[in-house]
Amino acid sequence: MNALIERYCKKLKLSGLYKGYKDIEFKNKEQFIHDLLRIEIEEREINKVNRAIKSAGFKVPKTLADFTFTSNIDIPDTTNIERTKNLEFLERKENLIFLGAVGTGKTHLATALSLEACTKGKRIKFYTAAELANILLEKHQKGSLNTFMRTLNKLDLLVIDEIGFVPLHKDASELLFQVISDSYEKRSLIITSNLEFGNWNTVFGDNRLTAALVDRLIHHAHIFVFSGESYRLRESMKRQQKRT
């Protein structure tokens, strides 16, 4: 009988029900069916979140529980920690921009907020600026750019990490500008950069394009400034001191 139940559950794609039905205490038929349906729904929600996290493309998953808002983070008057962690910016289609030196926690916070959004059923994609630029160029050359852009347009949140690490090709800059323009007031962006806005022209190579891009980004944005020494360097020094 157990093998037959397993076969039926697989055929009907009721994996949660099969995994949990043996643990449900039977009191009456209504309660038993209710609990069966509940565990199946819970399993599907877990699987949905896991698929969203996998699809997002996080380099290293990070959570808000592992992140500390220290005094080295200048939080803008337009928001606060609680509203940021509650993802209010997503509902308003606002942007978050994290500026600061390497290793100060920008990518960690961007990843943690994005992962939190995945748990709430939001559609996320996480790219470094260089990675996204290369994908855009490749899709453009292969004639599949429009299909890729339609995929991006379905997102609730697009994260572009590490703007400023490498200069972009002129065509890549224009394509990235198109992505940001298409997102304006339609979806949220999280941008991290080690450069102040005044130096972004060294990345995009065109003053007018850079000015237009920054203008669209900051219109509905909360700008966080990260200062202090590198978190990774600080942790490395702590580990070294413990060893000695």
User: Tokens at residue 124, please?
Assistant: 């996320």
Residue partners of 168: CB distance under 8 A and separation at least 6: 129, 130, 133, 176, 203, 204, 205
- SS (HEC) of 179-195: HHHHHCCCCEEEEEECC
What's the confidence (pLDDT) of residue 237?
A: 46
Count other Cβ atoms within 10 Å, centred on residue 53: 16
Look up the pTM and report it. 0.83
What's the confidence (pLDDT) of residue 223?
A: 97
- Say if residues 56 and 124 touch (Cβ distance below 8 Å): yes
Model confidence pLDDT, tens digit, residues 63-109: 999 999 999 999 999 999 999 999 999 999 999 999 999 889 999 99
Model confidence pLDDT, tens digit, residues 101-135: 988 999 999 999 999 999 999 999 999 999 999 99
What's the confidence (pLDDT) of residue 3?
A: 79
What's the confidence (pLDDT) of residue 240?
A: 54
Q: For residue 242, what pLDDT band results from cuts at 50, 70 and 90?
A: low
What's the confidence (pLDDT) of residue 46?
A: 81
User: Tokens at residue 156, please?
Assistant: 């609730």
Model confidence pLDDT, tens digit, residues 38-53: 888 888 888 888 898 9
pLDDT surpassing 60 at residue 138 = yes
How much of the chain is in helix, strand and coil states, percent to nearest 5? 60, 15, 30
What's the confidence (pLDDT) of residue 45?
A: 84
Q: Which of 1-15, 20-34, 166-180 has the highest mean pLDDT?
A: 166-180
Strand partners, 158: 125, 189
Measured distance CA(48)–CA(32) in Å, rounded? 24
What's the confidence (pLDDT) of residue 19?
A: 79
Question: Strand, helix or coil at 134?
Answer: helix
